A and B are shown apart, each in its own frame.
Chain A
């Protein structure tokens, strides 16, 4: 009996469904990036984020000078000269918003990355080593989870010297535990797979197993955890600053809101003083959530909706 030349045949994915992956297109992760961009939700989200990123980077060019300087008549509604009006002090809201993007986005992403990283290290180590180390790390994680976030934020911020650094540190401390929990679960389920046992039997070093065998399979959940942490970073930062616990001299969306509230913008009906910053926060969070959905869909084919309509079958 002759044998079909394997290189001529096409891959099969499951016993039932013949694979639909063309032989030329073999990388399973070619897709994470391209898949995301191909997805409508993600494309929208990514576009919004890109827009904000560009504005943040270009703020010094678009609105030169220090936005906190008082340059105009106070509490002016939007006009041709000041597209978003002026604050109660007399600063240009548009400039404040654009410059605010820099700090808010930077802090958001730094907190997101750091919290995810800490959560990842704790979670994977917990899952890999198991037993005593797992118990210990889980205890620490649970303690941090149990401590009420906002009060902890408030206390830490009140005691530590004011400044952006404090905000970042405080947010990382309160933010890592949630991701650690999730990442540990995922790592545990991968740990129990035979290919990890096979790596152990081959003689692989534990660190290599954690980072080269377990971690690559967690790509999608790490990505979505990261995005969630960024949302947390931006939102919690704004919250802290609004309460006056951030560094009020820094220009960010949160401090804009703080000053707007402090100067009674709500009472005077000067919606243009707080609405832009608030909207920006909401929009960025929304865009990140969209990208998050897309990551889920790309990595879990069952969530995808196909282009064809319902058929007879």
Chain B
């Protein structure tokens, strides 16, 4: 894994325009992904992580809009791409697996014809060549190529998801974005999928942006991780390091929300399941999870990520030199 970043997101800001108000879904988010690196983006539903992925893929539609920031892929400005260029870049350079992708396979086409479609469209191959490439791809994800002629409903959920992964990797992209790839799959199948992805990544060397709310899943797979909350990044570090010693209280509470499989039964407190607002401008700050009960000294400023150690970033206000309240 080299350190040359292939994806650089800088100060990204995405807003949704409503009838009479603006909601900021992604607020000043910056991170980079290196070649061959698996980068995990964790957070609860609604924190903006899927929006980030859609922004990178240029899939944001009205009323969403990128209002600030840059996204550079291998040095090229992604936000400036248009028309034919954009079309060529999608799927060949960056591919995406959406939430419940296995349900978004075309139910009236066989798997084979959907895969052949990719090759004939993007690479201009003949149908015969495309079929043999597709068969190779299926073998890559441990599906018998005879399944090329099966319809999606004839495959199990796990197989469908693997087929979707195969399709995403068809054109050998440099970056694969996965948005909750294992929701709706049960635990055994989930593990297989994760193992498959890990395998493929080692074989083919692509980078991965892995988005999920399931921290334990992410830690097993990722090299580096970031935690997102209400549109902002609150912590970013090496995965194992973050798991071993999370610095931000929100990260800690996310990690503690998992009942253990071994050891005594202890009562855990999860995160509050109240609805979260994406904009902090309504007067009730949604970042108070990290604050002490006495918020008398609250400056009202939402902290930015600061590098506390090389490679470790935490969103916290600089602690005063005297022992005081860190707001």
Contact = CB atoms under 8 A, between A and B. Distances in A.
B41 to A, nearest CB: 14
B61 A10 contact: no
B284 interface: yes
A81 interface: no
Contact of A313 (B61, B272, B278): B61
Contacts of B88: none
Nearest to A11: B275
Given A4-B272, A6-B274, A313 B58 contact: yes
B289 interface: yes
B203 to A, nearest CB: 32
A20 B284 contact: no
A252 to B, nearest CB: 44
Chain A CB within 10 A, most for which of B272, B275, B279, B284: B275
A8 interface: yes
A24 to B, nearest CB: 11
A9 B274 contact: yes
Interface string A1-21: 111111011111001111111
Contact of A8 (B17, B45, B284): B284
Interface residues of B, number: 42
Interface residues of A, number: 25
Given A9-B277, A15-B46, A313 B64 contact: yes
Given A12-B46, A17-B25, A313-B55, A4 B276 contact: yes
A189 interface: no
A131 interface: no
Interface string B244-259: 0000010001000000
Interface stretch (A173-181, A289-297, A304-312): A304-312
A311 B272 contact: no
B45 A1 contact: no
B180 to A, nearest CB: 9
A4 B274 contact: yes
A151 interface: no
Chain B CB within 10 A, most for which of A9, A12, A15: A15
23 contacts: A1-B271, A2-B289, A2-B293, A6-B274, A8-B282, A8-B283, A9-B276, A9-B277, A10-B275, A11-B275, A12-B275, A12-B276, A15-B46, A16-B54, A17-B63, A20-B17, A20-B21, A20-B63, A22-B18, A22-B21, A308-B17, A312-B65, A313-B61
Interface of A: 1-6, 8-12, 15-22, 306, 308, 310-313
